[in-house]
Amino acid sequence: MNTIKIDKYFRGMIANNGLSGIETENTIFAFLAAANRSYYGISCELSLSKDDKYIVTGCDSLLKYGMLNLDIRSFSYNELKKFSLIDRKTGNLNEFVFIPRLEDYLAICKAYQKSMFIKIKDCLKPEELEDLQGYMEDFGIEDNYSLISENKKQLQTLKKIFPANSLYYYSRIVDDESLDYCKKYGINLYVDHHKLKRDYIKNLHLVGLKVISGVVNDKEVAEKMIKFDVDFLFTNILE
């Protein structure tokens, strides 16, 4: 298996949760597969374990990983690491595929000089993010990152500790209200591609804000988004 190449060069391609079209999403294998390709950046999804360790997973339950319907946040990280996940390539459980820590993701991005795009799960309380800046600084991460949230309370907390230009509001519905929110607080915008219009991008570019197109796996759609002048485009398989 390999990536699908688009015909138009675009610097802002982001591997969504790692190269998740080939490897199990949000795992070290997925991050390394993306790191060894031409992607500008790699995204992940941030959550917490029972013992307040920052972990990388997009799931609330272990059910998606082929196990029982158990809440991930009811386990410590040492317990979570013991759960083997399904390897996307084989469809079988693989003891080397497990939920990683955020620091594992950060280390890979830093070593391979990939920009980091961290999507924050809605279930995290704003106060659970207050230590995130210090955590990243402890691992030598001072720039080259973006934080994405659809939770405005989370964003207001993050805005107190991170530069506003590193933040993205994930807007499910794009209208004047959401655009005004971004402009008022100087926060960038993340939009699912099927809701994205060229006028939205132009509107925000005029005030110095950036726009991310949500996950696109179709070549023609990707090239359309690039023509719209998006800053970044998330994808599972395109390159």
pLDDT digits (tens, 9 = 90+) for 141-189: 999 999 999 999 999 999 999 999 999 999 998 999 999 999 999 999 9
pLDDT digits (tens, 9 = 90+) for 36-45: 999 999 999 9
What's the number of domains the chain is made of? 1
Spatial neighbors of 149 by CB under 8 A, at least 6 apart, are 119, 120, 122, 155, 158, 167, 168, 169, 170
Q: Does a structural domain hold residue 7?
A: no
**Would you state the pLDDT for residue 61?**
79
Does residue 25 register a pLDDT over 90? yes
Q: Does a structural domain hold residue 3?
A: no
Task: Round the average pLDDT of the chain to a whole number and report it.
Answer: 94
Domain with 151 in it: what CATH number? Answer: 3.20.20.190
Q: Once rounded to an integer, what is the mean pLDDT over residues 200-209?
A: 97
pTM of the model: 0.95
Does residue 191 register a pLDDT over 90? yes
Residue with tokens 């991170």: 162
Q: Does a structural domain hold residue 1?
A: no
**Would you state the pLDDT for residue 41?**
98
pLDDT digits (tens, 9 = 90+) for 57-90: 998 877 666 566 778 898 999 999 988 888 999 9
Q: Does a structural domain hold residue 6?
A: no
Q: Does a structural domain hold residue 108?
A: yes
Does residue 9 register a pLDDT over 90? no
Nearest Cα neighbor of 218 from 48, 21, 74, 77 is 21
Q: Does a structural domain hold residue 87?
A: yes
Amino acid symbol at 157: T
Q: What share of the chain has pLDDT > 90, as a percent?
A: 87
Q: Does a structural domain hold residue 146?
A: yes
**Would you state the pLDDT for residue 76?**
95
Q: Does a structural domain hold residue 181?
A: yes
pLDDT band at 14 (very low <50, low <70, confident <90, very high): very high
Residue 23 lies in domain: 13-235
pLDDT digits (tens, 9 = 90+) for 97-146: 999 999 999 999 999 999 999 999 998 999 999 999 999 999 999 999 99
**Would you state the pLDDT for residue 43?**
98
